[in-house]
Structure 1
């Protein structure tokens, strides 16, 4: 069982994080400061250290040296994001911005522990391959494509691997296109890791997650007094990526004003902080990702056409999981092994009807939804056999036809489905819209996402695509 040290001076946060990790089969110790951690524990003996950046006395980054190679995950408030980037340059393996939801923290912890174990067991691996704050929905590593880090051998994926290997060594801008949950972040990491910039930072920014009023100062920095609350000059995330790679996820959500500034970075190789009259040179490779059609947005004036053509030097298209054939079962098996190891079980395996369900279900949330479904099934199963019902995808089970499919299981799924309100006439998007509108007044965004088997980010993206506004603040907060 992995042993994790939490160093956090706020008792409420520390206790909540401890309970979360212990519920997920981790052994946890805690301290309120670096000094207390030194006095009570042998710090190098832990498998992972999760520490707040700002602590009484010494900062959390001191634990990087004290850990003697133990990975350190830095927690920081959003306002201190650049400080977190600096801590990564000092050797922190990753950072996570507060406030974070439980899934986000658990995913980060699982990925770091897995990557660190892989580094210890593979002498050819290099520490910089774990640099950058990335989601972990599809971070399973394939033995035949280990340097790329994606499972699957379908023709479309083999073609993608070939393109990644060709594109990575160049400094060309790359636009990654694909549905939510297909692994765009992972492709960006592969491009960075296989490039000549691999030892420099990979700075990851979700453009959809930053308030529009803050995004220019977050990306490009600002001078003291540039706006209300700008009490000191601060560097932006583009500046933090100097010499490395900047990954802009959901670039279609970037406001037009910020697009103009980004275009200057690409054309001139320089930035100008908000409130400054002076420019400074930066050397950044840009990788952008989107699930939206930027060309159509450009035609309607919602995205700068000149920026679109600058980004579209090389385009990589990620296929949806439903288009990847037998890859889905291979990925499912990898997730099952990972989740089984996490709870200390080695006897779990899929029933025939579960494998059939996995093959037939269209996985609108792609790899991320598949991982959530398998995690749920592993938690709920009471025997070694994981059946289709445990996957929580029985909304679509009635549509499956296969001679090998167990009829009794089919009838059970039918009964389970009929216990809810009828959905057989609804498309997946209709079902999503119906469910969200029905339950959003009494469920948080996190609860909605969990019930739908998707992440909060995916829930937000689908709201945007389907035009379903988030309920105004009231009794329930997400």
Structure 2
């Protein structure tokens, strides 16, 4: 069991983080300051130290030197993000912004401990490769994903710039992490930046750093996120949202391998591999002047396309089962499984939010589940209206309808409209099926069923 020390002066945050980590199988101790941590505990007996940046007395960064080989994870508010970058330059293994997401914290802790164990194993075994084993697992076995794995393996062995394209929620950051972890930079930092989440007025300072007095409020010099990634990988998510001025600076960084802090005269050499991602069509934006064309072609060295979930039909249930197992373990639930109806819904749903939407739907279902089965109503998904051909095909398969006898019904219509078919289906089945069952069979919501009844004047079966 891994031992973790929390150093945080706010008791509410300290207690909440302790409960979260203990619930997930870690042995946890805590302290309110650097002095208390050093006085009450032997720092080298821990596997990880999580500390706030700003503490009464000495700052949390002092623990980096005091902890020796024990990795130190820095917690900081967004306003102190630049200080967190400086902490990484001092040797902090990573930083996480407050208020933190529980899943993000657990993922960061697990990754940090895993990297620390790998480094220790390499030292004991005399490994000189400097390469950590792959840690990020991307689930999927369909043809498009197999091709993606092959291309990740190839590009990871190089320092080429990579552009990852795909809709929101398809796993672009996972692909970037897989590239980093399979590269010879795996033991160096990977700094992830969401370009859409940083205010436009701060983006250049955040990426490139600034000198003292460069602008109002710049009371001291700060290094930027690119410097923090020196020797490792910089992942720029949503690069299509980067302002044009910052794009010009980024282009120089890619061309010359150097950066210039805001307000600085002399450039700094950096060794950073760039991976960028976007859900936008950069080529179209370049033509319209919203994105620099020269930067687009600089980024377009190696392109990876993340397939949308709706195009990965064979992977949907595999992903769903993996997420169900993860959430059930996380929430310490009894063994859960999907009902046949839920599996059918997962197959037929369009997934506009892709893998992220699937994971969120299953987390919601596990929270709401009372029994051992995940049923369709727990998933909170609503199918779009299907075509007449789809409904007729599914209805015929379920009820094994015989083919139409053309001689016996030569005068009958066989090309029913969707409304005609809906009316016939409801009238024929409403005595045997509930409203919920009718709606599920038709692939619509109960609200849509009610609205169609009103439109077509189909009365509900009398109660009693």
Q: CA deviation at 1:356?
A: 1.4
Question: 2:408: which partner in 1?
Answer: none
TM-superposition CA deviations, 1:118-171 (whole Å, max 9, x none):
6799899889xxxxxxxxxxxxxxxxx956521111100000111111111111
CA pair 16-344 structure 1, distance change in 2 beyond 3 A: closer
Equivalent residues in 2 for 1:336-347 (5 A)? 336-347=324-335
Equivalent residues in 2 for 1:5-404 (5 A)? 6-11=6-11, 13-14=13-14, 30-37=30-37, 49-61=49-61, 72-88=72-88, 92-98=92-98, 100=99, 104-115=100-111, 149-393=137-381, 395-396=382-383, 399=386, 402=394
Q: CA deviation at 1:235?
A: 1.2
Comparing 117-126 with 257-266, which one deviates more in the overlay?
A: 117-126
Q: CA deviation at 1:60?
A: 3.0
TM-superposition CA deviations, 1:145-203 (whole Å, max 9, x none):
95652111110000011111111111111100001111111111111111122222111
C-alpha distance in 2, partners of 1:105/1:4?
Answer: 18
Question: 1:442: which partner in 2?
Answer: none
C-alpha distance in 2, partners of 1:75/1:170?
Answer: 33
C-alpha distance in 2, partners of 1:244/1:172?
Answer: 13
Q: Is the 8 A contact 1:202 1:244 kept in 2?
A: yes
CA pair 168-110 structure 1, distance change in 2 beyond 3 A: same
Instruction: Find the residue that maps to 2:319 and give its secondary structure.
Output: helix
C-alpha distance in 2, partners of 1:354/1:2?
Answer: 38
Q: Is the 8 A contact 2:85 2:224 kept in 1?
A: no
- Computed over aligned residues only, the root mean square deviation of the Cα atoms, in angstroms, reads 3.8
Instruction: Find the residue that maps to 2:197 and give its secondary structure.
Output: coil
Q: Is the 8 A contact 1:397 1:410 kept in 2?
A: no
Structure of higher CA gyration radius: 2
Q: CA deviation at 1:34?
A: 3.2
Q: Is the 8 A contact 1:7 1:32 kept in 2?
A: yes
Q: CA deviation at 1:242?
A: 1.9
Comparing 312-321 with 273-282, which one deviates more in the overlay?
A: 273-282
Structure 2: 5+ residue stretches without partners: 124-132, 400-431, 453-464
C-alpha distance in 1, partners of 2:70/2:433?
Answer: 51
C-alpha distance in 2, partners of 1:367/1:77?
Answer: 29
Q: Is the 8 A contact 2:47 2:113 kept in 1?
A: no
Comparing 177-186 with 197-206, which one deviates more in the overlay?
A: 197-206
C-alpha distance in 2, partners of 1:271/1:309?
Answer: 20
Q: Is the 8 A contact 1:207 1:251 kept in 2?
A: yes
Comparing 240-249 with 80-89, which one deviates more in the overlay?
A: 80-89
TM-superposition CA deviations, 1:276-298 (whole Å, max 9, x none):
22222222211110000000000
Comparing 26-35 with 350-359, which one deviates more in the overlay?
A: 26-35
Instruction: Find the residue that maps to 1:326 and give its secondary structure.
Output: helix
Instruction: Find the residue that maps to 2:266 and give its secondary structure.
Output: coil
* TM-score, length-scaled by structure 1: 0.73
C-alpha distance in 1, partners of 2:232/2:311?
Answer: 33
Q: CA deviation at 1:32?
A: 2.0
Q: Is the 8 A contact 1:178 1:318 kept in 2?
A: yes
C-alpha distance in 2, partners of 1:346/1:89?
Answer: 45
C-alpha distance in 1, partners of 2:275/2:147?
Answer: 19
Q: Is the 8 A contact 1:148 1:161 kept in 2?
A: no
CA pair 286-331 structure 1, distance change in 2 beyond 3 A: same
Q: Is the 8 A contact 2:233 2:275 kept in 1?
A: yes
TM-superposition CA deviations, 1:396-415 (whole Å, max 9, x none):
17759655799766447699
